[in-house]
């Protein structure tokens, strides 16, 4: 901040200080009434005195007397000077004995002077100190009270340096951005062949995929000034402020060129102009207009590269995306299995993992997880390990953390009726069997009948392979697998429940996409529905119908036909494997949760593997174990509390050693 800005910032506080001093002076001085009495009048009024204070003068010639009369108001007093003599003091003392008023005598004249100074000037001193502290903070904190039009962009100081080594799984994206860094470090290498570096790079992708982290890594790799700002920092209540901030941001950047500017969530300010119900947004549109002009207008901003991030590229103004502004779009997709393993390795650096935890297997079990989801998963696992008093994160905590991220915490306090528990077990067993018998259906990694969120139980189903495209057979078998729960209910109980509503939602969505978007029905290879450009009308209004009412009826018929055929196929498979459905359902009733490994063992050996961990045991088995080990206070505990009690007594280690010996 320059001297002129400092003076502007100090002026209002100086005015405020003067006003406060004036107010204090008015109440302390002007609002107090002091009556000056003569010696004769004072001596004649001793019978009316209420309180008296006698202070000898510094030169020792007179007494300075102050006090109040009985008929005085609260802020009214008198003062008088009388000769310093024994006769005067005798008369005052006799009057005090007779009329019994309050009298004090100050023996040290110097002490009274200092006391007077302290009480008169201490309030003013405190006010001055307070005003000085406030003004200092405002100046030292880069006061922006009157700087509405100043840029909110902050300069990265590299205190927490992030490099490309901290960004896992984005190999191609990092290569694109390394080119920018190379240009900033050695521009002549590009200019020699007439190459022009992109003025702007737009990072597009779902939330949590690492767009902001990637920009921070660019700041860590580049030895140039790096400014960062959010799109919402431009938008203000007052019209024209956002445009002023854009101008100020580029003015600062020009003084520090070459440099990088990172705008996070640019869709907050870069939305299409003149669209939406009710017209546009004047302040946001003015800000966008200024941003467009600064990026590529009459003036040149050489050496300034803009990096922006958004997950809503579809709502951005076309003028923002044209060559010369954001020349290049870098799509940051959800990580594949290899990238997920790399991301997990980065986030596992500061965590203690048990030797049985394999990040490669965990990566295979988490398709669709973003980088933020994976970081959250390991953090939840670490929190669970601490809660269970463990020295390392085991697969038990990782499994529970995965369930928490997907479905929320388990509702173990919720009580099933026996009939409901059995029905849920057969429902989930239907999903498992179809996953085992269909080649292209999603396989079940884990199945549980412990309720979470709004689900009474759930099966974690993942594709056998992650691919960019899917065949018609694969989609049909996915629908068939989703219908397995309802089919199993109907076959084993002769009843249907509401438990399959989410399965139907997913199955219908796939079937409708096959008919209207993928051309995988008897209606032929025609796209009948697509998303429109009306980005401000809401998702329910975005789907355009390019067909008549007759075709709409045919679409409904095709969807019902696809779902009906899949339902029939699921029924045939589950009827042919009724014994396997019962075997898995009974195992779920016993254990409540089965992993992929336990399911495969059950299918092969027709029985579950023996318990090796406390988490795999039932509540009754845990209580028997606690009784056998002579551990007190176990009878009223639930399963989690009992596991923690047994672990605290090192029972799990003893059980594992016994299994090894056997």
Active site residues: 428
SS3 content of the chain, % helix, strand, coil (to 5): 55, 15, 35
**Which residue in this structure is represented by tokens 């003149």?**
274
For the record, the structure tokens of 440 come out as 């292209």
Instruction: Fill in the DSSP letter of residue 208.
Output: T
Gyration radius (Cα) of the chain, Å: 40
Half-sphere exposure of 288 (CA within 13 A, CB side): 21
Find the DSSP H helices in 107-234. 109-140, 171-185, 187-191, 211-221
Look at residues 462, 416, 463, 384 and name the one whose alpha carbon lies nearest to residue 592: 416
Sign of CA dihedral 193, 199, 205, 209: positive
**Which residue in this structure is represented by tokens 């049909």?**
476
For 201-236, letters b (16+ CB in 10 Å) and e give bbbbbeebbbbebbbbbbbbbbebbbbbbbbebbbb
Instruction: Fill in the DSSP letter of residue 353.
Output: B
**Which residue in this structure is represented by tokens 């030292």?**
140
Q: Cβ contacts of residue 284 below 8 Å, gap of 6+?
A: 235, 242, 269, 271
How many secondary structure helices (H) and strands (E) does the chain include? 24, 16
What are the angstrom distances between the C-alpha of 436 and each of 431, 442, 484? 9, 9, 12
- Cis peptide upstream of residue 239 (ω within 30 degrees of 0): no
What are the angstrom distances between the C-alpha of 142 and each of 6, 425, 647? 9, 63, 55
Distance of alpha carbon 502 from alpha carbon 499, whole angstroms? 8
The answer to whether the CB of 73 falls within 8 A of the CB of 117 is no
Distance of alpha carbon 221 from alpha carbon 162, whole angstroms? 8
> What's CA 348's distance to the chain center, in Å?
21
Look at residues 185, 294, 297, 186 and name the one whose alpha carbon lies nearest to residue 250: 294
What are the angstrom distances between the C-alpha of 371 and each of 300, 343, 363, 585? 38, 7, 11, 35
What are the angstrom distances between the C-alpha of 261 and each of 158, 159, 254, 275, 578? 15, 18, 11, 28, 63
Look at residues 282, 271, 307 and name the one whose alpha carbon lies nearest to residue 153: 307
Find the DSSP H helices in 483-595. 484-493, 501-516, 549-576, 578-591
The answer to whether the CB of 203 falls within 8 A of the CB of 215 is yes
SS3 label, residue 563: helix
Other Cβ atoms within 10 Å of 372 Cβ, number: 15
Strands (E), 283-335: 304-310, 328-331
Look at residues 99, 98, 97, 85 and name the one whose alpha carbon lies nearest to residue 54: 85
């Amino acid at each position: 901040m320059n001297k002129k800005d400092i003076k502007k910032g100090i002026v209002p506080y100086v005015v405020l200080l003067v006003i406060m001093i004036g107010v204090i002076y008015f109440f302390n001085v002007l609002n107090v009434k002091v009556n000056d009495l003569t010696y004769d009048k004072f001596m004649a009024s001793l019978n009316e005195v209420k309180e008296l204070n006698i202070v000898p003068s510094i030169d020792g010639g007179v007494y300075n007397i102050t006090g109040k009369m009985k008929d005085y108001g609260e802020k009214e007093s008198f003062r008088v000077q009388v000769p310093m003599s024994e006769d005067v003091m005798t008369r005052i003392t006799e009057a005090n004995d007779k009329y019994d008023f309050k009298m004090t005598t100050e023996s040290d004249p110097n002490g009274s002077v200092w006391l007077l100074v302290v009480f008169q000037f201490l309030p003013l001193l405190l006010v001055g100190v307070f005003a000085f502290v406030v003004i200092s903070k405002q100046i030292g904190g880069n006061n922006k009270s009157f700087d509405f039009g100043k840029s909110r962009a902050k300069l990265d100081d590299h205190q927490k340096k992030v490099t490309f080594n901290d960004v896992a799984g984005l190999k191609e994206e990092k290569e694109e951005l390394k080119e920018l860094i190379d240009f900033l470090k050695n521009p002549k290498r590009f200019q020699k062949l007439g190459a022009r570096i992109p003025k702007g790079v737009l990072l597009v992708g779902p939330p949590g995929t690492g767009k902001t982290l990637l920009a921070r890594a660019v700041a860590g790799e580049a030895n140039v000034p790096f400014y960062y700002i959010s799109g919402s920092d431009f938008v203000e209540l007052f019209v024209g402020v956002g445009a002023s901030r854009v101008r100020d941001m580029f003015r600062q950047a020009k003084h520090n060129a070459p440099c990088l500017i990172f705008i996070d969530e640019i869709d907050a300010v870069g939305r299409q102009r003149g669209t939406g119900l009710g017209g546009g947004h004047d302040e946001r549109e003015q800000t966008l207009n200024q941003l467009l002009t600064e990026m590529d207008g009459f003036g040149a901003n050489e050496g300034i590269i803009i990096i922006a991030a958004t997950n809503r590229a579809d709502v951005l103004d076309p003028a923002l995306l044209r060559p010369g502004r954001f020349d290049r779009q870098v799509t940051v997709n959800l990580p594949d299995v290899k990238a997920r393993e790399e991301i997990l390795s980065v986030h596992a650096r500061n965590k203690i993992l048990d030797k049985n935890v394999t990040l490669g297997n965990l990566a295979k079990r988490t398709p669709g997880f973003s980088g933020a989801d994976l970081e959250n998963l390991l953090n939840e696992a670490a929190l669970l390990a601490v809660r269970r008093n463990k020295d390392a994160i085991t697969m038990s905590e990782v499994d529970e953390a995965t369930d928490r991220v997907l479905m929320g915490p388990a509702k173990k306090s919720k009580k099933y009726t026996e009939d409901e528990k059995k029905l849920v077990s057969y429902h989930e067993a239907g999903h498992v069997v179809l996953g085992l018998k269909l080649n292209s259906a999603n396989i079940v990694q884990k199945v549980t009948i412990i309720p979470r969120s709004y689900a009474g139980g759930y099966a974690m189903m993942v594709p056998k392979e992650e691919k960019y495209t899917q065949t018609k057979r694969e989609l049909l078998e996915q629908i068939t697998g989703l219908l397995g729960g309802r089919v199993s209910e109907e076959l084993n109980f002769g009843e249907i429940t509401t438990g399959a509503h989410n399965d139907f939602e997913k199955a219908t969505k796939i079937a409708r996409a096959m008919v209207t978007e993928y051309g995988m029905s008897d209606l032929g290879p025609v796209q009948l529905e697509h998303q429109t450009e009306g980005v401000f009308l809401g998702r329910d209004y975005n789907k355009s119908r390019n067909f008549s009412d007759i075709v709409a009826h045919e679409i409904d018929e095709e969807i019902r036909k696809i779902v009906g055929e899949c339902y029939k196929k699921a029924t045939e498979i589950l009827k042919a494997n009724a014994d396997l459905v019962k075997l898995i359902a009974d195992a779920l009733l016993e254990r409540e949760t089965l992993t992929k490994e336990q399911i495969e063992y059950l299918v092969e050996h027709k029985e579950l593997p023996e318990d090796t961990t406390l988490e795999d045991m039932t509540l009754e088995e845990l209580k028997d174990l606690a009784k056998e080990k002579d551990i007190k206070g176990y009878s009223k505990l639930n399963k989690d509390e009992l596991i923690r009690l047994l672990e605290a007594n090192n029972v799990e280690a003893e059980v594992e050693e016994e299994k090894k010996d056997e």
